[in-house]
Structure 1
Amino acid sequence: MPVLQAFVVALPLLLAAQTIEEQEWHLDALDVYSAQAQSRGDGVVVAVIDSGVDARHPDLAGRVLPGTGFGRSQGTDGTTDIDGHGTGMAGIIAATGKGGGALGIAPGAKILPIASADEKEQFGLDVVAESIRWAADHGAKVVNMSLGFSSSMTPSLVKAVNYAIEKDVVLVAATGNDGKEVSAPANIKGVIAVAGTNKVGKPWVSSNVGADTVLAAPAEGIVTAAPESVYASGYAEMDGTSAASAIVSGVAALVRAKHPEMPAKDVVNALISTAKDMAEPGRDATTGFGMVDPMGALTAKLPPVERNPLLPPPQPSTAQPAPTLASQRPEQPVDLSDRLPFVAAVAGGTAVMTGLLIAVPAIRSRRPKPGVSERGTPPTPW
C-alpha cells in the first residue's frame, strides 16, 4: 500500500501573518542562510525520482528541466505532478523563494524530474533502478530518492546504485516512516540514508532507524511547494523522512556547486565528517553520523578519500561479490540472500502532506521565524 495520504485542513489564522519562507523553520535550524552566502547550488543538476514535478509552480519557475517517466509514467517528461509529493521534494531542494514563496536549500540548482510510478500507481523496484541509471546518464550530480520499499530489493536496484556511484553521482534516500528498519534503497551501500528529526532537534518518532542510518535532518512540519491542482494554496506541510532526504540532497548540491571539481566520494565524506553528533560520539543507529551541517560541509578542509566511505573495502578475491546491503560498518556486508523477497513497495516516498490554506503576503522576511503550525493528524504508517 502507498504510504502517502494527504489531508487538507485550515491552519491557525496566525499563519496568515507569516510568509511561506518564514514557516520553513528548518532554514534557521540548519543555518541555511549562511550556507547560501557560500553557495546556492548553481550549475548542479539534482534528479528527483518521485511522482513528477510541477514545472509551472511559481517557486520552481526556471528550475525544472525536461525529465522522463517510467512505469505508468512512461512517455512523459516528468514535469507534471498529480500527486504533489515530487513537487514538494523539488521545492525543499531548489525552490526560489520569490514573492513570499518557499525557499529551497539550493535555489540555484536545477531539478531533473523522473516520474517513476508503475502500473499499480506505486514505485516498482526495477522501475526505480531504471530511474537511477537514467539520472546518472543524463547529467544528475545528486539523486534524491524520497521513497522506500518495506522489504528487500532486486539485484538490478543494487547494480543501478553501483552504476550511479561509478558515474560520480551522490545518492540520497529516505530511511522510511514506520519506526522499523531502514528501507531500500537507503540501505544499499554507498547511499546516504537519511533519518528524521523533530522541531526540537530530537529523533522524529516515526523515522525508520538502524545500522544503515547515515545522516539525520528535519522531518517534522516541513513547509514546501505543492501543485495548485492538488492544494489550492500551492503549498503544503509534511512530516516524513522524505523531507529529510530532500534537505540533505539540497546540501549535497551546495557542496557540489562550491567545489565543482570535488568527486562524489569526497562530497559524501564532507557530509558525514562534518555532521553534528546527536547521541554518543560516532555513528549510531538513530541519527547515523549526526545532523547534516551545511556550513560545516561547505567549509571543511578535508583530504581526498580513496573511495566512497559508505562502501565496503575492495574484495580480496577477484570473484564477483554478491549484491550487498549497507550495514553500520562497511567491512561487514550482508548478503542479499539474507533478505526476504520483495513483497510491497511504498509509493510517493515517506511523508504525510497537509495543504496550507493561507494567504501569502507579497513581502517576505529574509530572516524567518521558526514555524508555528502543528497538524493534528498523525503520520500514516506504511
Structure 2
Amino acid sequence: MPLLPALAVALPLLLAAQTIEEQEWHLDALDVYGAQAQTRGDGVIVGVIDSGVDAQHPDLAGRVLPGTGFGSSQGTDGTTDTDGHGTGMAAIIAGTGRNGGALGIAPGAKILPVASAEKTQFALDVVADSIRWATDHGAKVINLSLGFTGSTTPGLVRAVNYAMDKDVVLVAATGNEGEEVSSPANIGGVIAVAGTNRDGRPWRSSNVGADTVLAAPAEGIVTASPESVYPSGYAEMDGTSAASAIVAGVAALVRAKHPDMPAKDVVNALIRTAKDLDAPGRDDRTGFGLVDPAAAVKAQLPPVERNPLLPPPKPSPTPTAAAQERAAQPATVQDRLPFVGATFGGVALLTALLIALPVARTRRRPQPVSGRGTPPTPW
C-alpha cells in the first residue's frame, strides 16, 4: 500500500487509541512533567470552592477529603457533584491519571471540596463563608473557578484578607465574557488567571484588565466528570475556570517543594517565573505571562516583605499641632452627630449599591468526552 493512503487509514486508529492523559495538551505545553519530576504536590491541601467533587471518580479516588456545603448544598460533605464543574476542576488540580485517565498538575495533593453552588447559582456571602471554612480546615491553596460581574462586597473582601492573613494562596478565574476581570479575581492579593489558547495566545473570550496576574490554558481542556453527568466519566471544556485550576495546581507544587515558604513568596515565585506573552512586562491580557510550573518549582528568590499583588502600605500622616490639640479635647455632642450621620449614610449607600449590582457565574459547562478518542470540537 502506498505510504500516504496507509497513513490516512492509520491516523484515525491512532487518534482513537489516545488516552485521556494524552488528550490533555496543556500538560506538554506547560512541561508539567518536568515540574512533577521535582514534586507531585504531596502534603498540600487545595480547597476547591465549586459545585462539589465526585470522590468516587477513579482519577480522584483517595485524593478527596471530607469537606462541607453551603447555600443549597448545606448539610453535605462536598463529596458529590451533580453539576460536574467542581469534579473537573479537582481533576485538573490533582487527578491521578490512573490507567490513562485525567492527570492533574499536582496528583499528590489532596482536595478539600466546599460545595457552594448547584448548576448556575452562587451567592457572594456563600463564597465568603466558603473561603473562611476552607482556610480554617487546612487549605493552603484555594481555587475559585467562579466569579461575579460588577463590584464585590466588604464581606467577600474580608474573607479574602482573612485567608491571606492565614498564609493561604488564593487563585481565581478572571471570567469568560470578554469584559473586565470579575470578582473575587479582582480583589487585591488574589492571583487572577486569564486564558490562553492552543497556540499560546490570549484566549478570545477571557476577561482581562489591569487586575490580570497570570495566564494559563483555557481552550479544549480535557478533564474528569462524574459518570452521572457524562457516562464516559470525562469532558472537555473552554474557560478561565480551567486556567485557574491549572495555576492552583502549580501553586500546590511550589508549596509541596518548599513547605516552609510563606504564601507571599509562593505568589512571588509564580509571577516572577512566568513567561512573558503579550506586551513586555505586566499587561492587561496575560498579566505577568504564562505560568511556568517547572520554573516556579525550581525558583530560589529572596523573600518579599508582602504579597506582591497588594499595594504598598500608605505612610501614616503626621498630625499637625492643631489636630493633636483638638484630638486631645473631649468631643461634644455637636461634634459627634454629623460624623456619625455621615458615616452611617455612607455605609448604607455603599452597601445598597454593592448588593444591587448584577452577579453572574463566570464559568462554562464541560462537554462530554469519550474515554478514548479525540475530544469533540470546542465550543
TM-score range, shorter chain: 0.7 to 0.9
Query: Alignment partner of 2:122: what SS?
Result: coil
Partner of 2:358: 344
Q: Could you tell me how far 1:279 is from its partner in structure 2?
A: 1.5
Partner of 1:75: 75
Structure 1 residues 43, 17: closer, same or farther in 2, change over 3 A?
same
Matches of 1:228 and 1:137, distance apart in 2: 31
Correspondence list, 1:277-316, <5 A: 277-316=276-315
Give unpaired runs (5+ residues) of structure 2: 1-11, 318-349
Correspondence list, 1:165-184, <5 A: 165-184=164-183
Matches of 2:359 and 2:278, distance apart in 1: 31
Structure showing greater Rg? 2
Partner of 1:221: 220
Partner of 2:42: 42
Q: Confirm whether residue 106 of structure 1 aligns to residue 106 of structure 2.
A: yes
AA partner of residue 79 (structure 1): T
Structure 1 residues 259, 100: closer, same or farther in 2, change over 3 A?
same
Residues 48-85 of structure 1: per-residue CA shift (max 9 Å, x gap): 00000000000000000000000010110000000000
Query: Alignment partner of 2:289: what SS?
Result: coil
Q: Confirm whether residue 353 of structure 1 aligns to residue 366 of structure 2.
A: yes
The answer to whether the Cα contact below 8 Å between 2:52 and 2:81 also exists between their aligned partners in 1 is yes
Structure 1 residues 214, 222: closer, same or farther in 2, change over 3 A?
same
Q: Could you tell me how far 1:313 is from its partner in structure 2?
A: 1.2
Matches of 2:241 and 2:41, distance apart in 1: 20
Matches of 2:188 and 2:130, distance apart in 1: 18
The answer to whether the Cα contact below 8 Å between 2:20 and 2:371 also exists between their aligned partners in 1 is no
Query: Alignment partner of 1:352: what SS?
Result: coil
The answer to whether the Cα contact below 8 Å between 1:64 and 1:112 also exists between their aligned partners in 2 is yes
Query: Alignment partner of 1:75: what SS?
Result: coil
The answer to whether the Cα contact below 8 Å between 1:193 and 1:215 also exists between their aligned partners in 2 is yes
Q: Could you tell me how far 1:152 is from its partner in structure 2?
A: 1.4
The answer to whether the Cα contact below 8 Å between 1:151 and 1:342 also exists between their aligned partners in 2 is no
Larger mean Cα displacement after TM superposition, 307-316 or 86-95: 307-316
Identity of aligned residues (%): 76
Structure 1 residues 192, 73: closer, same or farther in 2, change over 3 A?
same
Matches of 2:356 and 2:65, distance apart in 1: 32
The aligned length equals: 336
Matches of 1:291 and 1:131, distance apart in 2: 28
Query: Alignment partner of 1:143: what SS?
Result: strand
Partner of 1:5: none
Matches of 2:175 and 2:237, distance apart in 1: 14
Partner of 2:377: 375
Structure 1 residues 373, 227: closer, same or farther in 2, change over 3 A?
closer
Q: Could you tell me how far 1:301 is from its partner in structure 2?
A: 1.6
Partner of 1:3: none
Matches of 1:342 and 1:49, distance apart in 2: 24
Q: Could you tell me how far 1:315 is from its partner in structure 2?
A: 2.6
Matches of 1:178 and 1:61, distance apart in 2: 34
The runs of 4+ residues in structure 1 deviating greater than 4 Å are 12-15, 339-342
AA partner of residue 40 (structure 1): R
Partner of 2:253: 254
Correspondence list, 1:154-233, <5 A: 154-233=153-232
Query: Alignment partner of 1:217: what SS?
Result: strand
Matches of 2:218 and 2:14, distance apart in 1: 22
The answer to whether the Cα contact below 8 Å between 1:122 and 1:345 also exists between their aligned partners in 2 is no
Residues 188-235 of structure 1: per-residue CA shift (max 9 Å, x gap): 000000000000100000000000000000000000000000000000
- Higher RCO (CA 8 Å, separation ≥ 6 residues): 1
Q: Could you tell me how far 1:121 is from its partner in structure 2?
A: 5.5
Structure 1 residues 121, 217: closer, same or farther in 2, change over 3 A?
closer
Report the TM-score when normalising by structure 2: 0.85
Richer in helix (by share):
2
Query: Alignment partner of 1:344: what SS?
Result: coil
Correspondence list, 1:141-152, <5 A: 141-152=140-151
The answer to whether the Cα contact below 8 Å between 1:145 and 1:174 also exists between their aligned partners in 2 is yes
The answer to whether the Cα contact below 8 Å between 1:48 and 1:86 also exists between their aligned partners in 2 is yes
The answer to whether the Cα contact below 8 Å between 2:153 and 2:354 also exists between their aligned partners in 1 is no
AA partner of residue 175 (structure 2): G
Larger mean Cα displacement after TM superposition, 13-22 or 246-255: 13-22
Matches of 1:352 and 1:204, distance apart in 2: 17
